[in-house]
Structure 1
Amino acid sequence: MYNTKNILFIGPYSKTPKGGVAFVLSEYKKLFPDAYFVASNVPANYFSKLISLVLGLIRFIFLLFIHPCIRIVHIHSASRNSFKRKYIYFKIAKKFNKKVIVHIHGGMFHEFYYNAKLSLKDKISDFINNSDTVVCLSSRWEKFFTENFEPRHILTIPNIITTPTIKDIRLNEKGIVSFLFLGLIGTNKGIWFLLETLSNYKVHLKGKAKFYLGGNGEIKKLQELIRRYQLEDIVSFIGWVSNEDKQMYFNGADIFILPSYNEGLPISILEAMSHSLPIISTRVGGIPDIVDNSNGILIEPGNQKQLYDAIKYFIGGNKNSINAMGNQSFNKVEPYLPTQVESCLTNLYSKL
């Protein structure tokens, strides 16, 4: 077994994670309990984030000094401010002659790079080209990085999910199809697009469908739009969903829906698939790698007619299709379970 005391992880680690990257790192902590972790960010105001960055960097340098056995620094980064923080860690790790893995999350890294000023593009190129390995979430992202950069080594390692707890629960009375959305409440995840679509077609959905929306973010705007569009009969906001409650909602739902505009490889979709749910989502990021006609319906981002047609398909009495697609979802998700991801990571570490 690989000695994980040689590994140091950097990212938004938390014992009670909110967000996909924090969830991934919390699962890595379970797989590699002897590894070192440095939390690079806290969900707080600007001043608190600045303090957490300074303290994180101090802890990082301290660990590198007192534990020379640390050989590999595994940096989990997204775009924008996340990249700017991680780039500092990257330069320090290189000064200490450590092997560096850059693990890219987030669905907007391409836009971040294309729209960056020249000086920032140079830093992004340095980050990608001079790391020892770039880890992507899907083959589509691997293609983006090989076409726009010159990475020394690149590979795809899927996001990790927990082994599901399956219970027989129903969220609605028989005959009403339950749709579950879990994600950051904001434009990128397509929540406003979803609400607008439901508003335009609500007369056809009442008594046939119920939508459960969970997450954090722009909650006041969400609640205001539910009232303005008069969606109370078919939409329920369930707030931030803890892991225990999440299992209940996944077990009780019939369909998972995430009409995002940008994605890497959403943890929420993988978790839904592990609970044998069909998926309604969009053709962005790594989603087409895990969702096709066998286990769901993909639409173009922002297309209300396509979204309604997908919803209508599942509320049209297609119970056999729901079950068959759900079974395919479960079959597709096996590579994302902890034992499979652990094998990919230990193989990577042993080769560096």
Structure 2
Amino acid sequence: MKNILFMVTKSQNGGAQKWTKEQIEICSNNFNCFLATDEDGWLSQNVQVQDKFLNKLIYRRLSFSYLLLLNKFIKYNNINLIIASSANAGIYSRLIKLFNEKIKVIYVSHGWSSIYNGGKLAFLYTFIERQLSKISDSILCISKKDFQNAKDIIKINDNKLKWITNKIYPIKNREILKKQDEKIKLLTVARLEIPKRVDLLIEATKDLNDVELHIVGDGSQRNYLESIKHKNVIFYGEIDGFNDFKNYDIFALISDSEGLPLSALEAMSSKLPIILSDVGGCFELIDENGILVKNNIDEIKNAIINTISNNNKFSEKSLKLFNNSYNLELNRNSYINYYKDISND
């Protein structure tokens, strides 16, 4: 079997880490899987791999020491293919080809941060990404929007691009019988960091007395968010492997930038209506199962009210759309065949 190294900068729980975990799970019968990340954290503790390369030097944008150590690990384990799922991992994985031209590299775009978060330097970051794409064997886009941006804005050659829409395992959880007198439970699962806009959700639910906002996640914005909360806001902090979606009525993710959010897919697999910001590939997840919003308080508030009114319809549509397009159990071969094609090229 071929040997695959999955790379992601941080091992802490997050979208790219969940994606990497499930990719390792579906690949384990067809490849020998390895992991490179920063330290022993959520990801490294929740995967079964042949070996791990843990080193915090991956935080640096360009560390020659890290590059040499990574190359040593790759040679020792006879790695054939690297699949990189974060910006720093993407840089190092492709620079490795300067040492070993036979190794294949796939860079996974979980939303083009060079476009969404580049600010005044966006032109420089997109230029760097375009140059790195030339030494990539393939670039995997997880949404149609990212695929189009790769072609139209970053100007990556079509023959380097692959589009496989994000897919996850469905959440396995029990049905909850909701009491009639309970408040509507609105759930968001997000890192409490910029660019997530949990503050807008808090403000939008301030006057909705029948709605409780439940926030799962932690980060540097938590103190600020707790300072503006109202009585119907509940913070849980970070919950590793959170999958208790069935206890809630509606899922919302408000953000200034996204790729195609895994937490929204998890909510859909649990039959929840969803409210998403109209950014990145989020529009691909809405088809009569929820509402897209601009990031302003009134629009979010109205979306919550409308979703409550259409809860049953949106709920059924969410599960149907998930099973048709985003269920990894039903579509694992789309990834496995792709990895085989690249590694055997």
Q: TM-score range by the shorter chain?
A: 0.7 to 0.9
- Is 1:328 matched with 2:328? no
- Is 1:305 matched with 2:305? no
Q: Which position in structure 1 is the counterpart of 2:135?
A: 130
Aligned partner of 2:3 among 6, 23, 29? 6
Q: Which position in structure 1 is the counterpart of 2:48?
A: none
For residues 340 and 138 of structure 1, the distance between their equivalents in structure 2, rounded to whole angstroms, comes to 18
Tell me if structure 2 keeps the 8 A contact 1:104–1:135: yes
Moved more, 134-143 or 332-341: 332-341
Q: Which position in structure 2 is the counterpart of 1:196?
A: 203
Tell me if structure 2 keeps the 8 A contact 1:41–1:52: no
Q: Which position in structure 2 is the counterpart of 1:80?
A: none
For residues 114 and 287 of structure 1, the distance between their equivalents in structure 2, rounded to whole angstroms, comes to 21
TM-score (norm 1): 0.81
- Is 1:95 matched with 2:99? yes
1:146-165 aligned at under 5 Å gives the runs: 146-147=151-152, 148-151=154-157, 152-165=159-172
Q: Which position in structure 2 is the counterpart of 1:224?
A: 227
Q: Which position in structure 2 is the counterpart of 1:247?
A: 243
For residues 121 and 312 of structure 1, the distance between their equivalents in structure 2, rounded to whole angstroms, comes to 39
Q: Give the length in aligned residue pairs.
A: 318
TM-score (norm 2): 0.83
- Is 1:349 matched with 2:339? yes
Residues 1:332 and 1:153: Cα distance change in structure 2 (over 3 Å): same
AA matched with 1:346: I
Q: Which has the higher helix share?
A: 1
Q: Which position in structure 2 is the counterpart of 1:21?
A: 16
Instruction: Please state whether the residue corresponding to 2:259 is helix, strand or coil.
Output: coil
Deviations 1:312-336 (A, max 9, x none): 2234xx3xx3122111111111233
Residues 1:42 and 1:262: Cα distance change in structure 2 (over 3 Å): farther
Tell me if structure 2 keeps the 8 A contact 1:41–1:49: yes
- Is 1:72 matched with 2:81? yes
AA matched with 1:62: K
Residues 1:222 and 1:57: Cα distance change in structure 2 (over 3 Å): same
For residues 99 and 350 of structure 1, the distance between their equivalents in structure 2, rounded to whole angstroms, comes to 11
Deviations 1:215-264 (A, max 9, x none): 011222221221xxxx11x1111111232xx322x011010011211100
Tell me if structure 2 keeps the 8 A contact 1:10–1:76: yes
How far is the alpha carbon of 1:299 from its aligned partner?
1.0
Tell me if structure 1 keeps the 8 A contact 2:59–2:88: no
The percentage of aligned residue pairs carrying the same residue is: 24
How far is the alpha carbon of 1:156 from its aligned partner?
1.5
Moved more, 176-185 or 124-133: 124-133
Moved more, 135-144 or 190-199: 190-199
AA matched with 1:88: Y
Residues 1:186 and 1:171: Cα distance change in structure 2 (over 3 Å): farther
AA matched with 1:325: F
Instruction: Please state whether the residue corresponding to 2:6 is helix, strand or coil.
Output: strand
Aligned partner of 1:174 among 181, 191, 216? 181
For residues 40 and 86 of structure 1, the distance between their equivalents in structure 2, rounded to whole angstroms, comes to 14
How far is the alpha carbon of 1:24 from its aligned partner?
1.1
For residues 52 and 108 of structure 1, the distance between their equivalents in structure 2, rounded to whole angstroms, comes to 16
How far is the alpha carbon of 1:52 from its aligned partner?
6.9
Deviations 1:103-152 (A, max 9, x none): 11146331345733776544321222331111111111101101132333
Residues 1:129 and 1:42: Cα distance change in structure 2 (over 3 Å): farther
Q: Which position in structure 1 is the counterpart of 2:51?
A: none
After superposition, the CA RMSD in angstroms is 2.6
